[in-house]
Homo-oligomer: A and B are copies of this chain.
Amino acid sequence: MTILSCIADLPLIDHHCHGLIRTDLDRTSFEELLTEADTVSPLGTTLFDSTIGLAVRRWCAPILDLPAHAPAEDYLARRAELGATEVNRRLVATTGATDLLVDSGFRPEQLTTTDELATLTGIRTHEIVRLESLAESVLHDDGDFAMNCAEALAKRNAIGCKSVAAYRVGLRLSGVRPTDAEVRTAVDRWRQSGNPRLADETLHRYLVWLAIENRLPVQFHVGYGDADLDLHECDPLLLTGLLRATEHTGVPIMLLHNYPYQRQAGYLAQVFQHVFVDVGLATHHAGFRGPGLIAELLEIAPFGKVLYSSDSFGLAEHYLLGALLFRRGLSDFLATGITEDALTPEDAGHIARLIGHQNARRLYQFTPGDVLS
């Protein structure tokens, strides 16, 4: 497969990713970060026995000076030899990303900060505030919870927010903005529970409205994730009521990942003005099968409503594979269209630029002067 030239050099805005592990990893720790499995099952085999495992050996090994398809043990030995910093630097350098929008709210103690990531990679980074982490950080502060959330958000200089309601209560969120009294009651209930972790439909919903009222695009984790979530409660269609209620605001809602509900997500992107979608995470977790997922997303999602994200987390291998397999998938989709005479090479270039960076550029408020093509 040859990647279309309009895509090989396409600048990418990765609108959802996380920091990198700074330390060297033994085999178990590496495998635990490789897929969404928490641990390597004693009943299964190595997690290198997977499409993403094959992809690491195929595509990442050469960047570490190994032959393509090097065995897992060789790969891990060479990784340790080079050290985490050099590995991270080399792998991320392959992505062709100009901007990383970083959700720094998950396991921050283990990962590079947003600034460290910029320094390490030489790529501009931008802050996405994880709403639940923000709320958890002010739960026991004096004064009004809602006001404290608003103030904490204002201090963060974020260009967007992210909700992980999917992980806490699922996506059956009501469309109604909760009243101040409802928020107070829910906060009291939360405080009394003694649980530091937010999991309350009213408050997840409140936080989404807080972001919207600050005109910050809201990202939702949707679909595929780890065993902490109930995947059948993470179908993006469950957000339909909330989407209907928020459309008039004109604030973009970004549905992340979506696998295996990418077609459902494409539908929402078509029929709601403010909905945007990607199929990040799954694209590279499915290895050489990932590119086909992009074609499913693009069946009915308008090209002006689709973005790129990698959802890289911890391993720099995710950065490389996310970008590479996205490029291959988008290239396959467009090259097929050209071969079938369904679109022209000029159309392909236009669509690639929209999805690769123009849509993100239009929707997130980057610093003025910082203009891409």
Task: Point out residues on A near B: beta carbons under 8 Å.
Answer: 1, 35-39, 41-47, 49-55, 58, 68-69, 224, 226-227, 230-232, 235, 237-238, 240-241, 244, 250, 252, 259-260, 263-264, 267, 270-274, 276, 282, 285-290, 293, 295, 298-305, 336-337, 340-344, 347, 350-351, 354, 362-363
Q: What CA separation (Å) do A139 and B132 show in the bound complex?
A: 50
Complex contact B272–A340 (CB within 8 A): no
Complex contact B35–A304 (CB within 8 A): no
Complex contact B250–A240 (CB within 8 A): no
Complex contact A300–B50 (CB within 8 A): yes
Q: Return 27 A-B CB contacts under 8 Å, by A number.
A: A35-B300, A36-B300, A37-B273, A41-B305, A42-B250, A42-B273, A43-B273, A43-B362, A44-B304, A45-B303, A49-B351, A49-B354, A50-B300, A50-B301, A51-B298, A54-B337, A224-B300, A231-B237, A232-B235, A232-B237, A259-B300, A260-B263, A260-B267, A282-B299, A286-B299, A288-B336, A289-B299
Q: What CA separation (Å) do A264 and B233 show in the bound complex?
A: 12
Complex contact B50–A303 (CB within 8 A): yes
Known: A227-B272, A252-B43, A273-B44. A300 touches B51 (CB 8 A): yes
B contact residues around A270 at 8 Å (CB): 35-37, 50
Q: What CA separation (Å) do A362 and B49 show in the bound complex?
A: 16
Given contact pairs A49-B351, A226-B271, A227-B272, a sample of 7 additional A-B residue pairs in the complex whose CB atoms are under 8 Å apart: A35-B302, A36-B271, A41-B304, A43-B252, A45-B304, A49-B303, A293-B299
- List 3 tightest A-B contacts by C-beta distance, closest first: A45-B304, A288-B342, A41-B273
B contact residues around A43 at 8 Å (CB): 250, 252, 273-274, 276, 362-363
In chain B, what residue has the closest Cβ to A223?
B267
A96 to chain B, nearest CB (A): 21
Known: A232-B235, A300-B282, A337-B54. A267 touches B347 (CB 8 A): no
Known: A224-B267, A264-B231, A267-B260. A340 touches B1 (CB 8 A): yes
